[in-house]
Amino acid sequence: MLAAILTLFGCGRSQGPANQAPEVGVVVLRPQAVPLTAELPGRTAPLATSDVRPQVNGILKSILFTEGGLVHAGQPLYQIDPAPYQAAFDSAKAALENAEANLVTTKLKAERYAALLQQNAISKQDYDDQEALYKQAAANVAQQKANLESARINLGYTRITAPITGRIGRSIVRPGELLTANQTTSLATIQTLDPIYVDVNQSTAELLQLERAAAAGQMSRHTPATARVTLQLEDGTPYPEDGELQFSEVTVDPTTGAVVLRCKFPNPDGVLLPGMYVRATIIEGIAHNAILAPQRGVSHDEKGEPTAMVVDKGGIARLRVLTTSRTVGTNWLVTQGLQAGDRLIVEGLQKVQPDMPVHAVPAGSPPVTYGSSGSGR
């Protein structure tokens, strides 16, 4: 009886948790295509900017727009007193009519002289003189037409129009002021804000890393025509419209070691204003056969190197030293140290030491409940 009791007691203890390999939750790593993104700082810039300046001298008569409003190309903005230019236009028009009338008489006279020369009724010299007068009259008509066109252009310049479509700022001048042709001070500035540019900076080190990965076949780079960009405003709110990457500068800023990437965003509601600080998230490419390790399964040793524990085929926990390139969501993108099919420990790491046996179960499984020694008895 005593032997039976000891046997049962011993069996009960052998089934307890103390003699069991620790249970750990694992995930099986699978290769996958992963979009690679970069969050970069940047500032907004107008699509186009135009400074409005007068092209003729004169007194400003009126302002024809609302400051801060939207103006369209060709819309009148300022009116310069047109009276002197209207008078010059009328004078040029009258001079042209006079020249055209003189041309008619000289032409008819030249034709009569030609007929008389055929009859030897006049000398050749008289005909040549009249022919020269006719050509002079024709040239005068052409000159007066040019003068009239010049006067018409100057008269049109008295009404200053918008060269581009966009939002106009405040007016620097007021009615009654004297304006000078091609003056250095602009009357107002127009900026096209829909769409709008966002210029972001990316370090050359990151660009070189991406190019090397693309050359090695580890990823495919997005071309500007297909690269989509999202935006985060200065207060942290996401911008509702997606943009697209236009191009990358060909010159590196020597002070920052970065290149400028220009993106274009729709701005129908005018939320984005020139000079705003934003953060852009750019999809730089697609990593092929990428290995993603959950962050909860990666720790760091005393040297600061990332490490992970995997379960080998024999059920033994093995320590791996990793090389990571970036985070992708809640995962690390691992370039060295892990491979497809590895069983990465993500649960129960605190109970595991390298090279010890473990009982691996899929992560998220309910823990196994062992019977007590009393139940064993």
75 in the same domain as 163: yes
Predicted confidence at residue 377, as pLDDT, reads 33
State the CATH number of the domain containing residue 101: 1.10.287.470
Predicted confidence at residue 260, as pLDDT, reads 81
267 in the same domain as 198: yes
For residue range 172-226, list pLDDT tens digits in order: 999 999 999 988 999 999 999 989 999 888 776 666 655 665 555 555 555 444 5
The three-state (H, E, C) secondary structure of the chain, written as one string? CHHHHHHHHHHHHHCCHHHCCCEEEEEECCCEEEEEEEEEEEEEEEEEEEEECCCCCEEEEEECCCCCCEECCCCEEEEECCHHHHHHHHHHHHHHHHHHHHHHHHHHHHHHHHHHHHCCCCCHHHHHHHHHHHHHHHHHHHHHHHHHHHHHHHHHHCEEECCCCEEECCCCCCCCCEECCCCCCCCEEEEEEEEEEEEEEEEHHHHHHHHHHHHCCCEEECCCCCCEEEEECCCCCECCCCEEEEEECCCCECCCCEEEEEEEECCCCCCCCCCCEEEEEEEEEEEEEEEEEEHHHEEECCCCCEEEEEECCCCEEEEEECEEEEEECCEEEEEECCCCCCEEEEECHHHCCCCCECEEEECCCCCCCCCCHHHHC
Answer yes or no: is 12 within a domain: no
**Which segment of 40-49, 222-231, 283-292 scores lowest on mean pLDDT?**
222-231
Answer yes or no: is 14 within a domain: no
Answer yes or no: is 5 within a domain: no
Record the pTM. 0.63
* Structural domain that includes position 361: 21-33+290-365
Answer yes or no: is 139 within a domain: yes
Predicted confidence at residue 6, as pLDDT, reads 42
